[in-house]
Amino acid sequence: MSKTYIIEVGSESAGIVVRDRAGFRFFSASQRFSALDGKLFRSARDAERAAKQRAQKSACPDFVKSFRRALPRFQF
């Protein structure tokens, strides 16, 4: 019987982890978490921590948010 868990960061789905012989393998649900795709973790909790760290690293800086409001027609 496989063990699969959904990993969420805030209200965003980061991906799933699937238990295999060596641990828990991460499969990303969005481009934001693609750096973790295929990585093996000792536990589902470790995968969740990694996803939270990744989300913090990829968070949009405040000055970029202000540019987005000022220039809504441009894609950043």
Q: What is the pLDDT of residues 7-44, one digit of tens each?
A: 999 889 999 999 999 999 999 999 989 999 999 999 99
Pairing between strand 12-20 and 40-41? unpaired
Note whether 3 and 18 are within 8 A (CB). yes
Q: CB count, 10 Å around CB of 65?
A: 12
pTM here is: 0.72
CA–CA distance, 76 with 68 (Å, rounded to integer): 7
Burial class (CB in 10 A: 0-12, 13-18, 19+), 21: exposed
Residue 56: the pLDDT is 86
